[in-house]
Structure 1
Amino acid sequence: MFMAIQWVRSLIFMIAIYVWMLILGIVFLPYALFAKRGALQACKTYARSTMWLARWMVGIRCEVRGSVPVGEVVVGAKHQSFLDIIMIFNAVPHGKFIMKRELLWTPVIGLYARRLGCIPVNRGKKGAAVAKMVKDVANEFTEPGQLVIYPQGTRVAPGVRKPYKVGTAILYEGLGFPCVPVATNAGVFWPRTGILRKPGLATVDFLDPIAPGVARNEFIERLEDVIEARSNELMREVGFDPDGVH
């Protein structure tokens, strides 16, 4: 009975947050078109209100740990869920995401992503996409901010292993910024697919930065080690065994 009720609550919650996204997108549109600050304010409002609704409607509490970066950095984050996007964006002062190019054509999200300075990439062209990403970042990353990239390239379910790609290392080298790894357990409560949202404490943890100048292979290995180890710890904290997933 509890699971059935939770599923219904989850469905209502999912409908509510997408309707709310559309409403906020329309309300803030004149301000966002006039000033990038308007787009930032709209997205911050959406992030905060979605986390509030998650707690109230489906019992997901959100916690941010570690030292949140405020300067120019590359944020290499574990990506399990839409929730970790919201939590990271709400935590950092001015987050800009490396995102799939197709998202630029989605209602509301595409417009606001452009105004925030997010960098679209074509994932289908692999090497060419990485080269273009670096060029686009060099051209677009003209204002201070935190550039968020997902080293595995997509959402990965809790406990599933997926290799870390070279794109984060190339950005780290090219920009000369520190890289802040971020771990999460958000996917335990807000999965990448399906309707059901589970109550509990979702966490994103900003880890110690990796200073500029680390060799590429060593950087990728270090980034993967710290993110995966800490994400596994966070999942175990809430009773999920990442080693039990096959």
Structure 2
Amino acid sequence: MALIRSILYFLIFYPGTILYCVATLIAARFGSGPVRKVIRGWASFHHILVTRLLGIRFEMEGEIPDGPYLVAFKHQAMVETIETLLRVKTPVVVMKQEYVNTPLLGPTMKSFGVIGVDREAGASALREMMQRGKQAIAEGRPVVIFPEGTRVPVGETPELRPGFAGLYRALGLPVVPVAHDSGKVWPKGLVKYPGVIRFKVGETIPAGLKRAEIEERVHCAINALEA
């Protein structure tokens, strides 16, 4: 049954995503407000598929505050990257540049506001990330980052990527760390399983800490459900 539901999910989600991409490009002609509404509609569409078709429920412990914060999420699967758009108000999301360059989806994400990171670009990538981050602050929007840099299998707790500390220092924002266990029901591959994804919002960490301390505190907080 999980296999059948998973196939149906993909058959509905990806064609639906194409329609939302087109709608976003049209909405972009009328300003950022309509774009954000369409993107939120897409995230809600995905949420409905996940909960009603795949049988996955979400539980949230704590609350992510509105406004300019650096929100650091654990990264185990695709599902939390989209759910983020519902859990965080109008976020600017840091993501791999290869996703930003994707036809149709890339322009859609750019119109919403993302920060593409090209790891091969070195210092220039960090400067671009910081510039876009400061623009988000000026607009009163939170910046969402997945500081591990890539999907992490359940139970693994790798060190944070160095770009996180650089962005933290440059933006001067407090950090809201968020742990979750999405990988238990959303493993790599086709089949997704019914169950519960738990989100745990950690204590807000102040700005201005030294690199070793901020990395240790964020690493501990986003892995709070890995025990």
For normalisation by structure 1, the TM-score amounts to 0.86
Which amino acid in 2 is paired with 1:194?
G
Kindly report which structure 2 residues correspond to 1:1-246, keeping only aligned pairs within 5 A, or say none.
5-139=1-135, 141-191=137-187, 193-228=188-223, 230-233=224-227
Q: CA RMSD in A?
A: 1.7
Q: State the 1:80 CA deviation.
A: 0.7
Following superposition, the deviation at residue 119 of structure 1 comes to 0.9
Amino acid corresponding to residue 93 of structure 2 in structure 1: F
- Partners of 2:31 and 2:131 lie apart in 1 by 25
Q: Any idea what SS the aligned residue of 1:180 has?
A: strand
How has the CA–CA distance of structure 1 residues 25 and 128 changed in structure 2, closer, same or farther, with 3 Å as cutoff?
closer
Read off the aligned partner of 1:199 and give its amino acid letter.
P
- Distance, in Å, in 2 between the alignment partners of 1:206 and 1:112 is 28
What is the TM-score normalised by the length of structure 2? Answer: 0.92
CA contact (8 A) 2:172 2:207 kept: yes
Distance 2:29 2:136 in 1: 18
Distance in 2 separating the partners of 1:87 and 1:231: 18
In the alignment of these two chains, the number of paired residues is 227
Q: 1:159 and 1:116, CA in 2 relative to 1: closer, same or farther beyond 3 A? A: same
CA distance in 1, matches of 2:120, 2:72: 21
Deviations 1:170-215 (A, max 9, x none): 2111111111001011111112x21100100112222111011211
Moved more, 176-185 or 120-129: 120-129
Unaligned runs of 5+ in 1: 234-246
What is the rounded CA distance, in whole Å, between the counterparts of 2:100 and 2:21 in structure 1? 14
Contact persistence 1:84–1:204 (CA under 8 A): no
- Amino acid paired to 2:21: G
Which amino acid is 1:99 matched to?
A: M
CA–CA distance in structure 2, aligned partners of residues 231 and 100 of structure 1: 25
Question: After superposition, what is the alpha-carbon deviation per residue over 1:13-40, rounded to whole angstroms, capped at 9, x for unaligned?
Answer: 0121111111122234322332112221
Counterpart contact for 1:166–1:220, Cα < 8 Å: no
Unaligned runs of 5+ in 2: none
User: Which letter does structure 2 place at the counterpart of 1:175?
Assistant: L
- SS class of match (2:226): helix
Percent identity at matched positions?
29
